[in-house]
Amino acid sequence: MPVRKPSPGAPTTAEPGAKRQRTPTSSSAQDTALDPFAAAQGLPEGARPGSPGPCLDTREAAAFLHLNEKKLYELAKNGELPAARVGGKWLFPRALLEEWLLEQAHGGALTDRLLITGSDDPLLAATVGALAPALGAEAFVAYSPTGTLAGLELLARRRADVCALHWGGVEHSVQQHAMLLRRFGPHRKWALVRLALREQGVILRRGLQVDGIETLAAFDYRWAMRQPGAGSAHFLESALASRGFSAADCSAVATAHSEREAAAVVAREDADCAP
């Protein structure tokens, strides 16, 4: 005889002595909903991936950041995202991606922190030194001279907010600065501001008199050289090249990473000259 199916939720009966069978409740859909990584990937209901490892592949990283893979590739290629290319594949350290997200959500430049890098400039250092105490705990401003090229690399990787440049002679600085910036992928998002003009030259040991920079290169004078990529190193190379010499002709006895360090080495008479 026909039997009407019980409505959903209605109690059912069984013959005396029959065992009731309990239907297990699936929790996979609930678990997936509680897993933000799975939800971010748009996985179907009931599907749950294994716990992501310390590195994400392109698909996982794109889902994690809610970006399409093309945009993710662009950011990684330009060095704007923490990523590494291993065996032809991009890998994204998840911990660094989380730090990157926090960095993007942070106040950023000119709000509550300002990180300045690039060329060493005494006037800029004095300005930052006066500004930092005035701001107190309201904001953070710091200046870390790294040299022009290293500073631009940090700026391109979003590790700094401002990069100071000293590159080339005054008469060609407008063109040379623009050409230098074009070597870095994100340069179209940067603003180039000319703040001041300064002279470049060579620091000499007290009492030392020479008739030109070529004399310092041609004879056995001791040089405190600047690190590669520094504006002062670029100046020295250009000045020597115009006189038929190169930095390799100089007797280097030390490497200085700032103008003040170079001046200190010469003042101690550990070197005769420095750019």
CATH number at residue 78: 3.90.105
Q: Measure the CA–CA gap between 167 and 233, rounded to whole angstroms.
A: 9
**Does some domain include residue 47?**
no
The number of distinct structural domains making up the chain is 3
Same domain, 98 and 112: no
User: Residue 161 sits in which domain range?
Assistant: 107-189
Mean pLDDT (whole number) for 185-190: 87
**Does some domain include residue 173?**
yes
Mean pLDDT (whole number) for 156-164: 89
pLDDT tier, 185 (very low <50, low <70, confident <90, very high otherwise): confident
Last residue of a domain, one of 142, 163, 189: 189
Same domain, 113 and 161: yes
Which CATH number characterizes residue 184's domain? 3.40.190.10
Last residue of a domain, one of 130, 164, 189: 189
pLDDT tier, 52 (very low <50, low <70, confident <90, very high otherwise): low
pLDDT at 3 over 70: no
193-203 as b/e: b if 16+ CB within 10 A: eeeeeeebebb
Render 203-223 in DSSP notation, one character per residue: EE-TT---S-HHHHHHTT-EE
pLDDT tier, 250 (very low <50, low <70, confident <90, very high otherwise): very high
Same domain, 117 and 183: yes
Share of the chain above pLDDT 70, in %: 79
Tens-place pLDDT, residues 70-117: 999 999 988 888 999 999 899 999 998 988 887 777 555 445 788 999
**Does some domain include residue 232?**
yes
C-alpha distances in Å from residue 136, one per residue of 114, 131, 133, 140, 160: 13, 9, 5, 8, 20
**Does some domain include residue 8?**
no
**Does some domain include residue 235?**
yes
29-43, 75-89, 214-228, range with the lowest pLDDT = 29-43
**Does some domain include residue 112?**
yes
**Does some domain include residue 151?**
yes
Q: What is the mean pLDDT of the chain?
A: 81
Tens-place pLDDT, residues 12-32: 434 444 444 444 433 333 333
Same domain, 112 and 184: yes
Last residue of a domain, one of 78, 105, 132: 105
